[in-house]
Amino acid sequence: MQATAASCRAMLMAAPASGQGKTMATAALARVYRNRGLRVQAFKCGPDFIDGMILQVATGKPVYNLDLGMCGEADAQRLLHKAAQDNDVILLEGVMGLYDGKPSCADIAERFGIPVALVLNAKAMAQTCAAVAYGLYGFRPALQRAGVIANQVGSEGHANMIKEALPTDIPWLGAMKYDTQLSLPERHLGLHLAQEITDIDQRIEAAAQLLGQDMPLPPSVQFAAPEQQAITPLLQGKTIAVAKDAAFCFTYQANLDLLQTLGAQIAFFSPLHDTQLPAADAYWLPGGYPELHLERLQHNHSMREGLRAAAESGKPILAECGGMLALGETLNGQPAFGLLPGSAALQPKLQGLGTQHATFSAADNSATGDDATTIGAHTFHYARFDTDLPVIAQGKGKYGAGEPVYRHQSITASFLHFYFPSNPALAAQFFMP
């Protein structure tokens, strides 16, 4: 039976640039609606992991990513349609500026007819906020104008100056007063993890109170039903153990969902805290911050030996970005797990950034079809990994060759974070002998 379209109130929270306060504003608005008893589903535009963790605290639900480049239009349509069926409000947090990237979050808004709200940091301006909003909306007139949220205003009078300067066709949604207690700490890969900010829930609630409990609901949007996707359960009966702790935390919920759709059982373990590697058919070490927890990892000898035994016995191991760094011989000059020949070190400047598509040779997977050997991914890291390992696949971005994918024993390793739903059959091969 063909699924029908689903309607839900929806809005995309965008800004002129990074650093405007989109994450906290989106989290605060989600909490405002949730406090009214509404079911709220948040999405993060682009490949970011960390902002979604903040939004998950605000909504109480896993957050999914929408990226027309890495994930694809069909995946976005499927996720939005399902969210519209199960929720009262959908909120999307944009990435960088409204028009940054090809495709951008403006492309998502236009493709699915989602109204765009602008979050503007008003700390050093007043009426000029209206001009910024006018210019952003006018750059692409087809975008629906949800309105403006002024962030970091100094007073009610300051907010009123912005409100009164707005053209009549740009709605005023509200303002958040400046409060140093609401700022979120950052490091080299973005905001601190939600679990590291001990009072994150209180900060979100305080921001919601500042935004005000009378915030209007977004307009209703109709989301077309996606085409039915047939997925063969290639991992039926398999158990995949996934590293999950402060050192290994960059995991897309959509990836976990897909592994279960493929028939796998998911078991989580902590290379930081567990003394034994759990029994499983395959292992996945996603990205994260192993460099911040290297001393604890170094001393977890039983975990290292467990992973070594798994690799030597031929059990598949996928190591992405931080997972690869942890499995190398050294990290920042200190001993690491030593399963991969190679040394890693963080650099002062960014070493990799952007969406890529990794292409594998037909010999490296059993999928079929025109795009059977290609999978969506992204990279964002400050580290170098020097190795002589053989390259079995190569990422490709908008500006040419991207990150290599290495193979050693049963380990597949790369700086790339793969998006499994972009090629389910190929993703399954990462966890099959």
**What span, in angstroms and rounded, lies between the C-alpha atoms of 184 and 23?**
9
Sequence letter at residue 332: N
Q: How far is CA 248 from CA 272, 284, 323, 430, in A?
A: 9, 10, 7, 18
Choice among 8, 45, 71, 321 that is catalytic: 321
- Residues contacting residue 334 through CB under 8 Å, at least 6 positions apart: 294, 298
Q: Is 129 a catalytic residue?
A: no
- The DSSP string of 66-131 is E-TTTT-HHHHHHHHHHHHHH-SEEEEE--SSTT-SSS-HHHHHHHHT--EEEEEE-TT-STHHHH
Contact by Cβ (8 Å): 329, 341: yes
Instruction: Establish how many alpha carbons lie within 13 A of residue 128's alpha carbon, considering only the half-sphere containing its beta carbon.
Output: 6
Residue 46 DSSP class: S
**54 class by beta-carbon count within 10 Å (0-12 exposed, 13-18 middle, 19+ buried):** buried
**What span, in angstroms and rounded, lies between the C-alpha atoms of 42 and 267?**
25
**390 class by beta-carbon count within 10 Å (0-12 exposed, 13-18 middle, 19+ buried):** exposed
Our separate counts of H helices and E strands in the chain read 12, 24
Residue 421 DSSP class: G
* Enzyme catalytic residues: 321
